[in-house]
Amino acid sequence: MSSNTAILSSFVEGAPPGELADVIADIKALTVSEPSVLEDLAPAFQKYNEEQFITAKLPGGSSQVIISEFSSLGEGRYFDSESQSSFEFDHSTGKASGVQSFVLEGEQASLVKSTLSTVGTYVKEHYPNAAYGAYAIENDTKVAVVIVANKYSPNNFWSGRWRSFYVYDPSSGSLEGSIKVDVHYYEDGNVRLLTDKKVNASVSGGRAADGIAREISTAEKKYQEDLNRSFTQLSEGAFKALRRQLPVTRQKIEWDKVASYRLGQDIGGGASRR
Q: How many domains does the chain have?
A: 3
Domain membership flag for residue 164: yes
Q: Does position 137 have pLDDT exceeding 50, yes or no? A: yes
Domain membership flag for residue 120: yes
94 and 159, same domain (yes or no): no
pTM equals 0.83
Domain membership flag for residue 86: yes
pLDDT band at 273 (very low <50, low <70, confident <90, very high): very low
Average pLDDT over residues 51-60: 94
User: What confidence tens digit (pLDDT) does each residue in 214-243 have?
Assistant: 999 999 999 999 998 888 777 666 656 666
Domain membership flag for residue 271: no
Average pLDDT over residues 74-84: 95
CATH classification of the domain holding 79: 3.30.1140.60
Average pLDDT over residues 118-124: 97
122 and 210, same domain (yes or no): yes
81 and 188, same domain (yes or no): no
Q: Does position 120 have pLDDT exceeding 80, yes or no? A: yes
152 and 185, same domain (yes or no): yes
89 and 177, same domain (yes or no): no
Q: What is the per-residue pLDDT for 106?
A: 94
Q: Is 69 helix (H, G, I), strand (E, B) or coil?
A: helix
61 and 128, same domain (yes or no): no
Looking at the chain, list the stretches that DSSP marks H as alpha helix, in order from N- to C-terminal side: 3-13, 20-30, 37-40, 42-51, 109-126, 208-233, 239-242, 255-258
Domain membership flag for residue 38: yes
The backbone torsions φ and ψ at residue 230, rounded to the nearest 5 degrees and listed phi first, read -65, -40
Q: Where in the sequence is the domain holding 15, given as residue range(s)?
A: 1-44
Q: What is the per-residue pLDDT for 3?
A: 79
Q: Does position 270 have pLDDT exceeding 60, yes or no? A: no
Which residues have C-beta within 8 Å of that of residue 263, sequence separation ≥ 6? Answer: none
